[in-house]
Amino acid sequence: MDIHNSVTFVVGVITIFSAIYKLAQIESSINTKIANLESNINSRIANLEAANFITVDNLKDKFNDKFIALDRKVDIHLQDYTNYKEALLLQHNGLIDVIKHNWSKTEKLFNNRS
């Protein structure tokens, strides 16, 4: 019976060690899969961040180009307004001079008749 108990004990110990070894393999497999999943997620996040940065950078460039074009258009319109204003002032001043000249001629005519 001692041999039977010894064999049973040895078989039980081997079974326990093999179960522990199998659990360690399963845990290692799970840890490896988790590490791979983390690296996949991190690489995808990095790719998305890079893509978003490129998209934002492209949008910034387009916005900057449109802003510069709009600024040039505003500058052109401001220059047109300034030129139009100066032309109107010259016309206005010229009309005032013509009116003053005609009025002085009319006053001279009236003064000469009186």
* Sign of the CA dihedral with 42 first, then 48, 51, and 53 last: negative
Distance CA 33, CA 37 (A): 6
Entry pTM: 0.43
The CA-atom distances, in angstroms, between 86 and each of 18, 73, 75, 76, 112 are 100, 20, 16, 15, 39
What is the structure's pLDDT at 22?
A: 94
Mean pLDDT of 79-90: 90
Residue 39, amino acid = S
What is the structure's pLDDT at 1?
A: 63
Distance CA 107, CA 79 (A): 42
More confident residue, 58 or 69: 69
- Residue 8, CB-side half-sphere exposure with 13 Å CA sphere: 5
Token pair 């009319």: residue: 106
Over residues 9-61, the pLDDT tens digits come to 899 999 999 999 999 999 999 999 999 999 999 888 888 877 777 787 788 88
Provide the pLDDT confidence category of residue 114 given band limits of 50, 70 and 90: low
Question: Chain-wide mean pLDDT for the chain?
Answer: 88
